[in-house]
Structure 1
Amino acid sequence: MPHPLPSPREITASGPLKGRVTVPGDKSISHRSLMLSALAVGESRISWLLEGEDVLATAAAMRSMGADIERGADGVWRVHGVGVGGLLQPQAALEMGNSGTSTRLLMGLIASHGITATFTGDASLSKRPMGRVIEPLSKMGAEFTASPGGRLPLMLRGINPAVPIAYTLPVASAQVKSAVLLAGLNTPGITRVIEPVATRDHSERMLRGFGAELTVEESPAGKIISIRGEAELKPQEIVVPGDPSSAAFLVVAATIVPGSDIVVENVGLNPTRAGIFTALRLMGASIEEVNPREVGGEPVADLRVRHASLTAIEVPGELAPSMIDEYPALFVAAAFAHGRTVARGAHELRVKESDRIAAMAAALGACGVETEEFEDGLAVLGRGGDPIAGGATIATHLDHRVAMSLAVAALNAKAPVTLDDASPVATSYPAFFDQLAQLQA
C-alpha cells in the first residue's frame, strides 16, 4: 500500500496552552470493538470510535469478510456481524496501511477460520516482525507464506477446526496475546495464554463483555488467560473512552510550556495503559484526575494539566508494558527536566513503526538535546525547563508518535522545528494539529 506524498510541517512556539479538549477514541479499544462486533450475531453500536487510518483499515478488512459496517450521520458506527466461524473469503488482499494492531489481531481472527487471506501494508509496516504471531498461530494449525524475516506481504491459510494450545508469551505483547485469544474464539476446547509480564487487558475485558467464556487466574508462571472456543458473541452498545496514548502528547505539551493550564476530557485510565501518567507524576508533573468514572467497563477521568517544573528520574522498568507507546512523549518531557532521565527496559521500541529509540535520539539531538542511546532505551539530559534549540528538520520515519513528539517539543523551542512528513499523524490522531492550534489560541 503506497504512502501518501510527504507533507512537511513547521511548528513554532507560540505561548501557553489553555482550554479544554477531547482526544480521539482509544485506538486499541476501537480495533477490538469492530472485530468482536463483526463476530457477534445482530447489530452492535459503537460511539466515539477512533476514525484514524489504522482503525478504518480494520473496518475495511471486516467488511471484506462479510460484516456490514456503516457510520451513521450521528457519528455512531453500526455493525451487523456474521457470527463466530462465519467469516467469508476476502476477494482481495487486506490492505493494512501502517497498522500493526490490525494485522496481528486479524491474523489471529482468521487463523481458526477455513479461509485464506493476504496481508499487505505500507513501507513502515512491511518492516515490522510478524514471526511472534506466526509462531503460536502455526501451532494451532494455520499456515503462513511470509516475506523474508517473517514480514509483510504474507499469506495466511486458516484452518477449521484449529487446535487449542497453551502458549507462554516470550515477549510482553498484548497483540500476540490477543491474536491467540481471538484464534481461540473459533477453536474447539480451551485455548490458554500464559502471560509472565502483564500487558494491556482490553481484549480480556471486551471478550467477556461480548459473552465469551474467559477466565484469568494467577500462577507462579504468571497470569493464565483461558478462553473456551466455539463461542457465541452477543451484540453490544460500546462507548470508546479517549485514547491515553493520544492524551499523553497534550499532557506533555501543557507540562513543558510555561503558563499552560488545560483539561483533557474523557481519558481512558486502564491501569495496563496509564504508565505514562505515573512516570510524569514521578517527575513532578501536575496531572489532576477530575470526575473519575467508568465507561464500558473501563476507568475514565478528565485530566487537568498545568505547567510544572520537572525533575529527572530513572523510569521504573515495571512501567514499560503500560506505557510502551508513550516513551517518545516521555523522552520529550525529559528534555525539559532538571537532570538526566534514564528510561530502559523498552526493547519493543526497536520494532515499532520505526526504531523509536534511534529515531528519538536523532530527533532530539538535532534540536540540541544531549542523549545516550542504549539497546533498550534512552538517557536524556534535560534543559532544566529552558527552551530547546530547535531549528532542525526532523525525519519522522513514517511514525505518527515520532511526529507528534517533536511537534510537542517544538512548542518550547527557540527556533521552529520542521517535520519532514506530518501525514503519518492521521493514522491515530487526525485532529492533532487542529487541537494544538485550538489550545494555543
Structure 2
Amino acid sequence: MSHSHNPAPLIGHRAAGLKGRVRVPGDKSISHRALIFGLLTRGTTEIEGLLEGEDVLATGRACTLLGAKVERVGTGAWRVAGTGIGSLLPPKGVLDFGNAGTGSRLMMGVVAGHGITATFDGDASLRKRPMRRVLDPLVKMGAEVVEQAEGGRLPLKLAGASDPIPVSYETPVASAQVKSAVLFAALNSPGTTTVIEKEATRDHTEKMLAHFGADIKVEPHGQHGRKITLKGRPELHPNKVIVPADPSSAAFPLVAALIVPGSDIVIEGVMDNPLRTGLVTTLLEMGANIEFTNRRTEGGESVTDLRVTASDLRGVDVPADRAPSMIDEFPVLAVAASFAKGTTRMRGLSELRVKESDRLAAVHAGLIANGVDAQIEGDDLIVHGGAVRGGGEVATHLDHRIAMSFLVMGLASQSPVGVDDGTMIATSFPTFVPLMAALGAEILPS
C-alpha cells in the first residue's frame, strides 16, 4: 500500500491588495464526524457542505467497509445509510486513512466498541504518529490490540468488544481525538461512561451526539475542564448536518488579508465555536481589523461572516492555555507574527511535536529560511517581527498547514517564498490555490 507521490513545489509571490468574497471548504473535524454518525445511525443521514478532501474521503471509504452505504449526490452533498450502533460489519479490507489522524483515531473508538476486528493503516506520515494514548482507554473498555507496529503505531489490528465496559476516564492530555474515541466506543456500552478533561478541548463530538439524539450531559469540571456523561446504546436518529466553513482553513486567507497592504476581503460562514477561535482572539489582540457579521447557527454550530482588512499588527504573548483552541493555526500565526511590530511569544506548544510532522521544528526552520529572527525555548516559539525578506524554500515534511502558511508569507514578503511540495494541501483544502487566486494572490508552480 504505497502512498508515494511526485512532489509539486509551489511559490507564493508578492501580491497587491487582496479583494473579494470567498467561502472556504467545510470544517474537517465536523466532516469526519458527520460520516461516522451516518454509519452509527439507522436510516439515512444527509450532509451538506462536506469537505471533499483526501482525509475525509478516506473516512467515508472506511464507513463503507464497515457496512454503510455512502453516496455523493452533489458538490459537498452526501447521503449515508447507516447500520446503526451494534450492527457494524467486519470489514473485508484494510481501513486505510491516508494522512487522516482524526479519521483513524475516531474510527478506532468506533471499532473498539463493536465485536469486530479491523486493520488500520495510513501513509508514511500517519504511520509515524503515536496511537498509544487513544488505544490505552479503549483497551480499558475491553478492546484488544492484536498486532501493531513499534510503539503502538500503524499498521495495527484492533479487536473490538461486543459489550464495551463503561468507564470513568480522565484524559491525561488535552486531546479532542482521545476524548471522542472513548465516546464513540461508549455508544455501544451497556452502561454509562464518563470522560473528564482538565482543559476543555473542541466539543464537536458532544454537540453532534446531542444533535443525533444521544443521552449526553456536559458539565464544567474544575477551573477549565469538562465532565461528559454518556449513556450507552441510545437509538440515534438521522439528522441533517450542514457542515460550517472550517476556521482552520479560513485562517489562511484571513492572515493573508491582514499582512498584504490594501486588502479588504469577506470570508463567509466561518464556524466560531469558542473552542476553535484561539487564532482570531490572538489576532485581535495583535491589532487585526476583523469584523463579525451575520452570526447564525448551522449544523448545531455558531457561524459568522468575517470582514478582514489589512492591519498593522504588533507582537503579543500567547498564553499556553490557549494552545488547545488553536493547535492547527500556530504555523499561520507564526507567519502573522513575522510581519508584526515587536516580539510574539507562543507558549506551551508541546502538542505540535506530534502533529503531521514535528510542526514546531518545521515552522521554526521555515521562518529562519526566510530571514525571520525566531527561537524555540522549551515548548515556546518566539518570533521577532518586522519586514520579511523571504526568498527561502521551506521543507513542508508532507504537512499541509506548513505548506499553506509559508505560501501566505510569500504574498507579503520582499522576495517570493517557495515550498518544496504542495501535494498535501489536497488533504484539507483542495481549492486553496484557486481560492487565493480569486482574491488576487499569485501562487504558482515553481
Taking structure 1 as the reference length, the TM-score comes to 0.98
CA RMSD of aligned residues (A): 1.1
State the AA in 2 paired with 1:417.
Answer: V
Q: 1:296 aligns with which of 281, 295, 299?
A: 299
CA displacement, residues 2-59 of structure 1 (integer Å, 9 cap, x when unaligned): 1322111122112111000000000001011000011111111100000000100100
Say whether residues 1:92 and 2:93 are aligned partners.
yes
Once residues 289 and 373 of structure 1 are traced to their aligned partners in structure 2, the CA distance between those partners, rounded to angstroms, is 34
**1:31 alignment partner AA:** H
Q: Give 2:356's match in structure 1, choosing from 349, 353, 357.
A: 353
1:391-432 Cα distance to aligned partner (Å, 9 max, x none): 111100000000010010010122222211101100000000
**3-state secondary structure, aligned to 1:353:** coil
Identity of aligned residues (%): 55
Question: 2:110 touches 2:185 (CA, 8 Å); kept in 1?
Answer: yes
Cross-structure match for 2:412 = 412
Query: How far apart are the structure 2 equivalents of 1:143 and 1:333?
Result: 45
Shift of 1:297: 1.6
Distance 1:434 1:36 in 2: 31
Counterparts of 1:75 and 1:394, CA distance in 2:
32
Q: Which amino acid aligns with 1:51?
A: E
Q: Distance in 1 between matches of 2:113 and 2:412?
A: 50
Equivalent position of 1:367 in the other structure: 370
Q: 1:224-263 residue pairs with structure 2 within 5 A?
A: 224-263=227-266
CA contact (8 A) 2:198 2:221 kept: no
Counterpart of 2:429 in structure 1 is 429
Render the CA deviation track for 1:314-345: whole Å, top value 9, x for unaligned: 01222111111111111000000011100011
- Cα pair 1:344 1:374 within 8 Å, conserved: no
The amino acid that maps onto 2:221 is S
- Equivalent positions of 1:305-344 (< 5 A) are 305-344=308-347
Amino acid at match of 1:389: R
Q: Partners of 1:166 and 1:3 in 2: how far apart?
A: 42
For residues 273-304 of structure 1, the C-alpha deviation after alignment (integer angstroms, 9 at most, x for no partner) is 01100000000001100111111221100000
Please state whether the residue corresponding to 1:348 is helix, strand or coil: helix
Query: Counterpart in 2 of 1:161?
Result: 163
Distance in 2 (alpha carbons) for counterparts of 1:26 and 1:193: 24
Contact kept, 8 Å, 1:108 with 1:183, in 2: the verdict is yes
Distance 1:265 1:218 in 2: 32
* Aligned residue identity for 1:200: R
State the Cα deviation string for residues 334-361 of structure 1 (Å, max 9, x = none).
Answer: 0000111000112110000011110000
Please say if residues 9 and 419 of structure 1, whose CA atoms lie closer than 8 Å, have aligned partners that are also in contact: yes
What are the equivalent positions in structure 2 for 1:26-175 lying under 5 Å apart? 26-73=27-74, 75-144=76-145, 145-175=147-177
Aligned equivalents of 1:43, 1:21: Cα separation in 2: 31
Aligned equivalents of 1:199 and 1:73: distance in 2?
A: 32
Q: CA deviation at 1:75?
A: 4.2
Deviations, residues 66-120 of structure 1 (Å, cap 9, x unaligned):
1001011364201101000111111111111111000110000100111111111
Q: Mean Cα displacement is larger for which, 26-35 or 414-423?
A: 414-423
AA in 2 matched with 1:139: K
**2:210 maps to what in 1?**
208
Contact 2:188 2:233 in 1 (8 A): yes
3-state SS in 1 of match to 2:344: strand
Q: Secondary structure at the match of 1:413?
A: coil
- The normalised TM-score by structure 2 is 0.97
- Secondary structure of 1:205 counterpart: helix
CA distance in 2, matches of 1:436, 1:374: 34
Instruction: Measure, in 1, the Cα distance between the counterparts of 2:341 and 2:304.
Output: 29
Check whether the contact 2:51–2:76 (CA below 8 A) recurs between aligned residues. Answer: no
Query: Could you list the runs of 5+ residues in structure 1 that have no partner in the other structure?
Result: none
Q: Which runs of 4+ in 1 moved over 3 A?
A: 219-222
- Matched-pair contact (CA < 8 Å) for 2:38–2:45: yes
Match of residue 274 from structure 2:
271
1:183 to 157, 182, 185: 185
With 431-440 and 141-150 compared, the bigger mean Cα shift is at 141-150
- Stretches of structure 2 lacking an aligned partner (at least 5 in a row): 442-446
Amino acid at match of 2:62: A
Instruction: Count matched residues.
Output: 438
AA partner of residue 195 (structure 2): V
Query: Do 2:216 and 2:231's aligned partners in 1 also have CA atoms closer than 8 Å?
Result: yes
Task: Provide the secondary structure at the position in 1 that maps to 2:209.
Answer: helix
Q: How has the CA–CA distance of structure 1 residues 74 and 337 changed in structure 2, closer, same or farther, with 3 Å as cutoff?
A: closer
Q: Using a 3 Å threshold, how does the CA distance of structure 1 residues 390 and 149 change in structure 2: closer, same or farther?
A: same
One-letter amino acid matched to 1:437: A
Task: Determine whether 1:282 maps to 2:282.
Answer: no
Q: Which whole-Å CA distance do the structure 2 matches of 1:379 and 1:30 have between them?
A: 33
* Alpha-carbon distance in structure 2 between the residues aligned to 1:219 and 1:75: 37
Q: What is the distance in 2 between the residues matched to 1:426 and 1:164?
A: 38
3-state DSSP of counterpart to 1:135 = helix
- Pick which of 300-309 and 140-149 moved more: 140-149
**SS of residue in 1 equivalent to 2:389:** strand
**Counterpart residue number, 1:9:** 10
**Secondary structure of the corresponding residue to residue 86 of structure 2:** coil
Give the CA deviation at 1:218.
2.5
